[in-house]
Amino acid sequence: MRVRSSDELVIAVHRGTGAQGHWESEVAKLLSNQVLPPASPTVTARDVDSPDSIGFLVGSYADYAHPHVWLHGKELGPVERSAPLALEALRAWRPEDSLWQLIAELVRRVASCSRPFQVDWDALAALPAWERAVQAALTARILLEVFTCHGPGPLGAGGEGLVRDLERLFQAHFLSLPTAFIAAPD
């Protein structure tokens, strides 16, 4: 995830194993047929162009009643890039709804998984110590917020699995912390 501004967030969702053909069948279902949809505010896609990931731009602008989501990537055609996606989480959007509902739907559709907030332990372990310490703490914070706001079930945060993930994240954070200060970037 990368925050572009106070209104925009860029998300890259890893496809996961066995989900390569799944996303292609979802694209046609998601391209919106709204009358006069807002056009995508961007055509660039830093940090999300990868054959293993699908990029999304989430925009929440004052002129519209709910956020909009666009596909985000250099390889997209004008139709895919400019039409917002018709996501289930946006159909009955209320101001008190959570961005996590939207992210959970995107992850489920792209990666075809039942637990959208599961941790990629291999990716976390591959990070430098200082980055691993920070990323583990941030990930734990997100999981706690999802679980606190939505409980274990609706977003697939995970109950028992979530508790184990939080335990491992806190361990990764605190075990990486002593070496993080030594290896911190200049």
Sheet arrangement for strand 68-71: 2-3, 8-14, 53-59, 68-71
Are residues 86 and 174 located together in one domain of the fold? no
Percent pLDDT > 70 in the chain is 63
Give the strand pairing for 53-59 and 8-14: antiparallel
Please state the separation of Cα 140 from the chain's center in Å.
15
Are residues 79 and 150 located together in one domain of the fold? no
Residue 52 has pLDDT above 80, yes or no: no
* Segment holding 58, helix H or strand E: strand 53-59
- Domain membership of residue 45 (yes or no) is yes
Are residues 77 and 132 located together in one domain of the fold? no
Report the number of distinct structural domains present in the chain: 2
Residue 35 has pLDDT above 50, yes or no: no
Residue 9 domain boundaries: 2-111
The residue length of the chain stands at 186
What tens digit of pLDDT does each residue of 151-183 get?
A: 766 565 556 677 888 899 999 998 887 776 665
Q: How far is CA 119 from CA 68, 158, 165, in A?
A: 26, 11, 7
Are residues 104 and 51 located together in one domain of the fold? yes
Percent pLDDT > 90 in the chain is 7
* Tokens 């055509």, residue located: 43
Are residues 145 and 70 located together in one domain of the fold? no
What tens digit of pLDDT does each residue of 54-95 get?
A: 788 888 877 788 888 888 776 667 666 677 888 888 888 887
Domain boundary among 89, 111, 133: 111
- Domain membership of residue 94 (yes or no) is yes
Are residues 11 and 88 located together in one domain of the fold? yes
Are residues 91 and 16 located together in one domain of the fold? yes
Listed in sequence order, the residues at least 6 apart from 8 whose beta carbon sits closer than 8 Å to its beta carbon are: 41, 42, 57, 58, 59, 60
Report the chain's mean pLDDT, rounded to a whole number: 75
Are residues 39 and 90 located together in one domain of the fold? yes
Are residues 66 and 146 located together in one domain of the fold? no
Domain boundary among 111, 143, 159: 111
Query: Residue 25: how many CA atoms within 13 Å on its side-chain side?
Result: 7
Cα separation, 1 vs 13, in Å, equals 9
